[in-house]
């Protein structure tokens, strides 16, 4: 009997705490969440017929982004090197989303590292619809290697694709957006654009550069109604590590455990869509530890550097 009374007293106290603290927080949150869902649905509907160009669209995250934006009724321009894979993605889009009222996707087979030849091909693609509303710079390459044993040619190759090709493409598209007085450019960076980890020097450097360019462009063009979103995902379950370059320029060819257990591309694509709808300036999609590391790098850099040193030593021993 005494135990029952103690149990009831305990539940009564918990209920009192919930009424005193929980209800004032829960109801406003539910109301906010309800209106947020309604607003997102309206904005999603407003995407119908918007022209969206996606680079690296032949697989992985780029393919997932093509599906999510095509399902919103967007007019999609698919950009990548492999034409046959782009054809496959195009056919998948049209067969998967048969009830979606939109135009057949446009395919642009293009090597983005050939920067001097980008302009004519991109302008041809844009001229089909006469405008460009959203550019998603997704194409990129990863890297695995030691600083001391990495050929500078590899640093250059990674930087050209991950940084220079993105800003070159953005500069081709920007005049169209300025003329129509609207537009949104999305850059797919990485958590490693915020924090650098051992054995990723070329990759992290290219993503750090990307972060800086987007922050600067956003500030300079703030009065032109052009939005910039930088996306910092953690590991995504794609072929990025398989296709990564090593220090001597060879293909890494292995699926890392971290990549294998990473986010599904479809989930990341959905997060990016919501970020575009909300016109967010920056989006980080990562578990607690990388988020914590970003804060640590900012507030306690010496501690962060020490942790990275220990990590580098451990990885060197394991390899």
Q: How far apart are CA 279 and CA 189, in angstroms?
A: 17
Pick the closest to residue 160 from 144, 140, 174 (CA basis): 140
Domain around 260: 37-286
pLDDT digits (tens, 9 = 90+) for 251-267: 888 888 888 888 999 99
Average pLDDT over residues 299-314: 93
Size (the chain), residues = 319
Q: Is residue 12 part of a domain?
A: no
- Token pair, residue 136, equals 């998603």
Q: How far apart are CA 188 and CA 170, in angstroms?
A: 13
Q: How far apart are CA 307 and CA 309, in angstroms?
A: 5
Q: Is residue 19 part of a domain?
A: no
Q: Is residue 311 part of a domain?
A: no
pLDDT digits (tens, 9 = 90+) for 114-139: 998 899 999 999 999 999 999 999 99
Which letter, b or e, does each residue of 156-186 get, where b requires 16 or more Cβ atoms within 10 Å of its Cβ? ebbbbbbbbbbbbbbebbbebbeeeeebbbb
pTM of the model: 0.86
Q: How high is the pLDDT of residue 251?
A: 87
Residue 77 phi, psi dihedral angles, 5° rounding: -115, 115
Q: Which residues does residue 232 pair with via DSSP β-bridges, in sequence order?
A: 284
Q: Is residue 158 part of a domain?
A: yes
Q: How high is the pLDDT of residue 5?
A: 47
pLDDT band of residue 17 (cuts 50, 70, 90) is low
DSSP state letters, the chain: -HHHHHHHHHHHHHHHHIIIIIHHHHHHHHHHHHHHHHHHHHHHHHTTT-EEEEESTTSHHHHHHHHHHHTTT-EEEEEES-HHHHHHHHHHHHHHTTTS--PPPEEEE--TT-GGGHHHHHHHHHHHHT---EEEE-----EE--STT--HHHHHHHHIIIIIHHHHHHHHHHHHHHHHT-EEEEEE--GGGTS--TT-HHHHHHHHHHHHHHHHHHHHTGGGTEEEEEEEE--BSSSTTTT-EETTS-B-----HHHHTSB-HHHHHHHHHHHHHHT-SEEEE--HHHHHHHHHHHH-HHHHHHHHHHHHHHHHHH-
pLDDT band of residue 6 (cuts 50, 70, 90) is very low
Q: At 247, which CATH number? A: 3.40.50.720
Judge contact between 230 and 241, C-beta under 8 A. Answer: no
Q: Is residue 82 part of a domain?
A: yes
Count of CB atoms situated within 10 Å of the CB of 18 = 12
Q: Is residue 313 part of a domain?
A: no
pLDDT digits (tens, 9 = 90+) for 46-100: 888 899 999 999 999 999 999 999 999 999 999 999 999 999 999 999 988 876 7
Lowest mean pLDDT among 213-217, 259-263, 279-283: 259-263
Residue 168 phi, psi dihedral angles, 5° rounding: -65, -45
pLDDT digits (tens, 9 = 90+) for 148-181: 999 999 999 999 999 999 999 999 999 999 999 9
- Token pair, residue 157, equals 């190759």
Number of domains in the chain: 1
Rg (CA), the chain: 23
Judge contact between 168 and 118, C-beta under 8 A. Answer: yes
Q: At what angle do helices 60-70 and 83-96 cross, to 10 degrees?
A: 30
Q: Is residue 266 part of a domain?
A: yes
Cα 116 to the center of its chain, rounded Å: 26
Residues forming the active site: 203
Q: Is residue 318 part of a domain?
A: no
């Amino acid at each position: 009997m005494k135990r029952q009374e103690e149990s009831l007293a305990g539940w009564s106290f918990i209920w009192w705490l919930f009424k005193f603290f929980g209800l004032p927080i829960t109801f406003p949150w539910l109301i906010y969440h309800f209106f947020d869902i309604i607003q997102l649905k309206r904005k999603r509907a407003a995407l119908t017929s918007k022209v969206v160009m996606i680079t690296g669209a032949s697989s992985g995250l780029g393919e997932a982004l093509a599906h999510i934006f095509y399902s919103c009724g967007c007019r999609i321009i698919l950009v990548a090197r492999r034409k046959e894979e782009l054809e496959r993605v195009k056919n998948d889009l049209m067969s998967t989303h048969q009830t979606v009222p939109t135009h057949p996707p446009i395919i642009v087979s293009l090597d983005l590292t050939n920067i001097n030849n980008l302009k004519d091909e991109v302008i041809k693609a844009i001229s089909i619809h006469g405008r460009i509303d959203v550019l998603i710079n997704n194409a990129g390459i990863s890297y695995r290697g030691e600083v001391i044993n990495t050929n500078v040619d590899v640093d250059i190759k990674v930087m050209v694709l991950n940084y220079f090709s993105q800003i070159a493409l953005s500069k081709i598209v920007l005049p169209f957006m300025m003329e129509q007085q609207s537009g949104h450019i999305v850059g797919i960076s990485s958590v490693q654009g915020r924090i650098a980890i051992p054995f990723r020097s070329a990759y992290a450097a290219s993503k750090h550069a990307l972060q800086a360019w987007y922050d600067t462009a956003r500030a300079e063009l703030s009065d032109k109604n052009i939005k910039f979103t930088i996306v910092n995902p953690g590991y995504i379950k794609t072929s990025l590590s398989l296709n990564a370059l090593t220090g001597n320029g060879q293909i890494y060819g292995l699926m890392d455990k971290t990549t294998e257990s990473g986010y599904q591309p479809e989930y990341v694509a959905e997060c990016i869509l919501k970020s575009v709808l909300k016109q967010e300036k920056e989006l980080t999609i990562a578990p607690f530890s990388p988020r914590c590391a970003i804060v640590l790098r900012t507030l306690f850099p010496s501690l962060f550097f020490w942790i990275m040193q220990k990590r580098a030593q451990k990885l060197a021993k394991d390899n």
